[in-house]
Amino acid sequence: MIRSCKASRKRSRSRSRKSQDKKIGRFRHPLIRFLVFAGLGALFFAVLVVGIILLQYDRRAARYDIDTVGRIPMETQVLDATGELIGYLHGEDVGTPVPLESISPYFIQALIAREDTRFYRHDGIDRIGVVRAWLRNARENRTVQGASTITMQLTRMTYGLTGKTMERKLLEMALARRIEKHYSKEEILARYMNRVFLGTGMNGIEQAAQGYFAKSSSDLTLPEAAMIAGVIRAPNGFSPFRHYETALREMRSTIRRLESEGLISRKDAEEYLKARPPVQRQERWMGMLRQQSKVTGRTYILKMIEDKVGHLLPSHSGVGGLTVQTTFDMRLQAAAEKSVEARLVELESEPDYPNPPLLAHRSGDPAYVQGGVAVVENYTGALRVVIGGREFSHSAFNRATQSRRPMGSIFKPLVYGTAFERGLFPGIYISDAQIQPGEIRWDDKGWGPDNYDGVFGGLLPASDGLVRSRNTMTARVGEWSGIDSVVAMMDHAGLGRPGSDEISPTIYIGTLGASVRNVASAYSVFATGGIRHQPYFIGSIKDREGVVLYQHEDESYRVLSPGAAWLTSSILKQVLEEGGTGASVRTMGFAAPAGGKTGTTNDFYDAWFAGYTSRLSAAVWVGLDQPDTISKDAYGGRVAMPIWRDIMVAAQGIGYEFTDFAAPVEVIEMQLCRESGLLATEECQSADSVYVERVPHDLIPRRFCNKH
């Protein structure tokens, strides 16, 4: 019997070894081994790649301020340069924060059942939900289901993450894991419920409870809590104010979720499903919102500030609580806005004015004449005034910063400044005759401009070309320097660089576009001796504890030499005197030292005036959004320059002091040749080509004339 058992075990072991040998034999087949190892290798590589990607996003997430999650949204104060309040940002995010224990447990249960049933079991990412959503979306071949947890939604609210890209989703997941490590589940819930948008200006459960049901969030019934929880996924589409039956459907869906999760009995669920919670009138809530809200009426300036703060501090802008110190002077801003409106209403009131006035506007894109203004502090770059249009509620498009309109003659001073850098002087003779075919050798189209008065002249001092805005003379002055030098100067002055397909001689007379802000900044170099300070409008940003999060640092560089800037400025001062295109600024009562230039594009599409005093530079543009004729004789000197004058007079009244301009360290009277601009010789005297020029020391010619 014992031998029989031993034999049986022996046979069993033999069969087992044979079975194993067969399996090993199959595994030893080269193709099988290759496929197995290839599969394992691919799996290892995929895991490695995923790990590297996740590590990269974890590193990106580590750069975000995690304490921001714990800050309840507050309004951001915006102050002007004098410390006066301009307004508030993010007021729409400010709800009434309440502690978790003061919120109805019905809402907490409804929220979790509706939005994140595994909230207490995941680390910020519901992996089961991710797989389920991916499978369903793949089956439907479209996005029908998401997998965002409450923590991930809180991440989006806190850091302003937008867009439906994989990059945003991976960053969101990395931040959610980090939040879960830093905060407890209860803290995450409290932050979420006090911030979540619940429709019609309601942020947080307390505002929603008060707005929809006129009660505290602690007193919500289960049907009311379920209705509010149902709003989250589409606050406007599921709003009980406007779509009560849809809100009721979402409420019932949430109640069924509560039942399926075992949080309420079937019997209770059936009773709750019959409920129709009475909702307050929307008008009542809107009245409350107006009383509580600190949101300031939207303006071009506040929009600029909001966008810039979001760019500078993306992780802070969403929760507010900041103090933003700006450079704007609201006293001067108000005066400028008043002038723009008064002057343009006056224009619209003229006989035979061809365009619809502002008062006729009802809806759609504005068809009435617009104005754009920028005023910059010369020696700092601080923007004191920005006017982006006449009515922000009609159009948020900022015509002072976002629009690039053809500059016309206001570009000419930079053409002359470039030439002065390269040896031209104001007294050198330049022909005012018509440009002849082939005269501009590199131009294969034979371009030649007309003068605004239709008259061509003979040889005139170069300064006359700028004072009287002669197109033919300006083109020849541009050629003195060369188109490459003029384009480089345009870019260096902050007006942008044209594309290669835009390069043509027409650039000399200002056919390219620039923003009003950048034109004002470019003109400041004539007042500062050639130095440009980058324009800015946010000086500092502090958090609610007073910690400085951002401080502006001056960015300045030389655009023109001191001598070239002084020579150009000397001519631009003449533009505002008798015989110049801007002379009416004096007859209108502005007497302070100043320089400037008018500009008018073809068919009166754009009217400009850009000018400067010792302290401020300003550019004014008038035109239509869709380029068209403003009106008959809408010259820059007639429709834009008066606004500039009003602004500068107002600045003087406020206390801005305008002194005379400082000359370069040394200016010497020298005898030069009118034709070459070089040191005069006896031959130049014989040719009657000698004149006396006041020459800045840095521009003194080093050679004698070789033309005579």
pLDDT: is 11 or 30 the higher one?
A: 30
Q: For the chain, give the percent of residues with pLDDT over 90.
A: 70
Mean pLDDT, residues 380-407 = 97
pLDDT of residue 62: 81
Minimal CA–CA distance to 582: which of 600, 562, 598, 605?
Answer: 598
Query: Could you tell me if 571 and 565 are in contact, meaning their C-beta atoms sit under 8 angstroms apart?
Result: no
**pLDDT value of residue 132:** 75
Tokens 């003979």, located at residue? 458
Q: Between 402 and 664, whose confidence is greater?
A: 402
Residue 52: pLDDT band (50, 70, 90) is: low
| Angle of CA points 440, 442, 443, to nearest 5° | 70
Kindly state the average pLDDT of the residues 199-219: 92
The per-residue pLDDT for 5 is 47
In this prediction, residue 606 carries a pLDDT of 97
pLDDT at 68: 80
Which element (helix H / strand E) includes 260?
Answer: helix 244-260
User: Residue ranges of the domains in the chain?
Assistant: 28-63, 95-292, 404-511, 667-699
Q: Is 406 exposed, middle or buried (0-12, 13-18, 19+ CB in 10 A)?
A: buried
Place of tokens 């869709």: 626
Instruction: Name the pairing type of β-strands 323-326 and 76-79.
Output: parallel
pLDDT level of residue 434 (50, 70, 90 thresholds): very high
Locus of tokens 């779509």: 243
Q: What is the pLDDT of residues 476-530, one digit of tens each?
A: 999 999 999 999 999 999 999 998 888 999 999 999 999 999 999 999 999 999 9
CATH topology of domain 95-292: Penicillin binding protein transpeptidase fold (1.10.3810)
109, 104, 283: which is closest to 211 by C-alpha?
283
Range name among 211-215, 304-308, 443-447, 655-659 with the lowest pLDDT average: 443-447
Find the mean pLDDT for residues 634-647. 96
Task: State both tokens at 561.
Answer: 């030499």
pLDDT at 390 over 90: yes
Q: How confident is the model at residue 430 (pLDDT cuts 50, 70, 90)?
A: very high
Where does residue 682 rank: exposed (0-12), middle (13-18), buried (19+ CB within 10 A)? exposed
pLDDT band at 144 (very low <50, low <70, confident <90, very high): very low
pLDDT at 41: 67
Least confident among 28-32, 389-393, 415-419: 28-32
Residue 54, pLDDT score:
62
Give residue 6's pLDDT band: very low, low, confident or very high (50, 70, 90): very low
Three-point CA angle 595, 611, 625, nearest 5°: 155
Label residue 473 by pLDDT band (50, 70, 90): very high
In CATH terms, the fold of domain 404-511 is: Beta-lactamase (3.40.710)
Written as one string, the DSSP assignment of 263-303 is: SS-HHHHHHHHT-------HHHHHHHHHHH--PPPP-HHHH
User: In this predicted structure, what is the pLDDT of residue 53?
Assistant: 63
pLDDT band at 295 (very low <50, low <70, confident <90, very high): low
